């Protein structure tokens, strides 16, 4: 288990794809993370205000409010929460750099890649 039960790092997973959301949630919870989810950017901002996660995994292409808009709002609020962009294809790195995301995952990604990146940011935050 990556995270002790008494120091569970809280992660928000934001993706409009139900299967991706549930898969990431299951993987992270199996490693001891506390996970909440959101289906779009507007819901994500509400969850961030309510739950104050240590990390946000954020899809870019979503209805209602996309990932770029969410990140822009978080930066304007000086939320200080690391954001990992998740997007398909070769543009993940370009988009993460352009919008100053803390990191990126190119869909599809490997479970180990996801866990290493999440651990890197949650450990840095002092949660692990």
Band of residue 125 on the pLDDT scale cut at 50, 70, 90: low
Adjacent-strand bridge partners of 37: 13
Q: Is residue 66 part of a domain?
A: yes
Q: Is residue 127 part of a domain?
A: no
Q: Which domain holds residue 89?
A: 17-122
Q: For the chain, what is the domain count? A: 1
Q: Indicate the pTM of the whole model.
A: 0.87
Q: Is residue 89 part of a domain?
A: yes
How far apart are the C-alpha atoms of 17 and 8, rounded to whole Å? 25
pLDDT digits (tens, 9 = 90+) for 27-85: 999 999 999 999 999 999 999 999 999 999 999 888 888 888 998 898 888 778 999 99
What's the first-to-final CA gap in the chain, in angstroms? 11
Q: Is residue 112 part of a domain?
A: yes
- Mean pLDDT, residues 72-99 taken together: 82
Q: Is residue 77 part of a domain?
A: yes
CATH code of the domain containing 74 = 3.40.50.2300
Q: Is residue 101 part of a domain?
A: yes
How far apart are the C-alpha atoms of 10 and 72, rounded to whole Å? 21
Band of residue 124 on the pLDDT scale cut at 50, 70, 90: low
Q: Is residue 75 part of a domain?
A: yes
Adjacent-strand bridge partners of 57: 13, 84
Q: What percent of the chain has pLDDT over 90?
A: 56
Q: Is residue 1 part of a domain?
A: no
């Amino acid at each position: 288990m990556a995270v002790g039960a008494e120091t569970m790092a809280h992660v928000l997973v934001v993706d409009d794809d139900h299967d991706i959301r549930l898969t990431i949630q299951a993987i992270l919870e199996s490693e001891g993370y506390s996970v909440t989810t959101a289906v779009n950017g507007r819901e994500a901002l509400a969850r961030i205000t309510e739950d104050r996660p240590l990390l946000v995994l954020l899809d870019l292409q979503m209805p209602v409010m996309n990932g770029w808009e969410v990140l822009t709002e978080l930066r304007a609020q000086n939320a200080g929460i690391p954001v990992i962009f998740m997007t398909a294809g070769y543009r993940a790195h370009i988009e993460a750099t352009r919008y100053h995301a803390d990191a990126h995952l190119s869909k599809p990604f490997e479970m180990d890649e996801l866990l290493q990146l999440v651990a890197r940011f949650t450990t840095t935050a002092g949660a692990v």
